[in-house]
Amino acid sequence: MSENIIEVRVPEEYNLRRIDKFINNNLETDISRSYIQKLIKEGAITVNGDTVKPSYKIKTDDLIKIAVPEPEEADLKPENIDINIVYEDDYIAVINKQPGLVIHPGPGNRNHTLVNALLYHLHDLSSIGGVIRPGIVHRLDKDTSGLMVIAKNDNAHRELVRQFSQREVKKRYEAIVAGKPNRANEIIDRPIGRHRKYGHKMTVTENGKEALTEYRIKKIWNVRNGIFSHLDINLYTGRTHQIRVHLSAIGNPVIGDPIYSKKWEKYKVPYLLLASTFLELKHPISGEKIDFNAGLPQHILNFIYKLEGAH
C-alpha cells in the first residue's frame, strides 16, 4: 500500500506534550487519535528517526515523521448522523455543518464523517470528488462550523468548482478573537504559504499566494480576564487556514485555535470560535443568485453569554 509521509517539527510552545495529542490537535489530517496511537505502536510514526510510545512527551524541535497509508477506495457506509440541511433540490444541497465533524474519510477514520451522513440523507451525490469525497465541492476545517454547498450531480459540481475558482462565491464568517484589532474595519492583504520550519502550519510570507481577508468589528468586551472582539469577516480568496493565519498575524488569534494561538487551551472551549455564517452563489443549473444565512453555533453563543455575564 502506498504511503504519504508527513514531517512535522515541534514548535516551542508544545514542548513536553503527548505526541498523540499533539498530532491529533495540530495536523488536522482527519486521522483519529486512536488511529494515531495505532500508527505509533506499529512504528509508522517516529521521532528523530526513533520509534516511541503514544505517551512520549515531545520536545522543542523534535522531527516527527508520519507514514500515513493512503485511504482505501472502498465502499462507504451511509450513517444516520444528524446534519442540518437548510436547502435541497435535485442539483445541490446546502448544509450547516456542526463543529467537530470531519468532512470526508481518512486513514483509520472511515466512518462518522460528513460524507457518511450525506450518503444517508441525500439520494444522489456527484462523483467528481471520487469514492471518498462524493458531493464535496469545498471544505471547512473539522472544528469550523457553518454553511457548505454540496453537489448532487457532476454538472452541478463542475459549475460550482468554476464559481469558487473564479471567486464568484461570497462567503462570510464570524469569529471571536483575543484582543482588539487596531482598526474597526480592515482588509488584510498578506500572502500566505507553507511555514518553512513547521510544515503543518501556514504563515504570512512574501513567497506565498495572494490572500485577502476583510474584517469588521461587531462588538468588543473588556472583562477581567482580557479583551475579546466579535468580528464579521469576508473572504476574497480561499487559502488554507486563511482567516486563522491572518488574524493571528495581526495579533488577534481566534479563540480556541490549537495551531495559531499559543494560549488556546486557556479558554477551555470545545472548538475554535469560528463559523461560516453566510453563503451566496449562483444556482449551478438555473443561474439564479441564491444566498443563505446561519446563526452562530451553540459553543460560540455559550462563550458570548459568559462574556456578557462577566461584562
Active site residues: 141
| Residue whose C-alpha cell is 479583551 | 227
Inter-CA distances, 295 with 85, 99, 147, 170, Å = 14, 13, 10, 17
* Partners of residue 188 on adjacent β-strands: 213
* Partners of residue 51 on adjacent β-strands: 46
- 39/6 Cα distance (integer angstroms): 13
Strands (E), the chain: 3-9, 45-47, 50-51, 63-69, 84-88, 92-97, 145-151, 170-178, 185-189, 192-194, 202-204, 212-223, 226-235, 274-282, 289-293
Inter-CA distances, 275 with 129, 222, 299, Å = 24, 22, 10
- The total number of residues shown for the chain amounts to 311
| DSSP single-letter state for residue 280 | E
H/E element holding 154? helix 154-165
* Inter-residue contact 92 to 150 (CB < 8 Å): yes
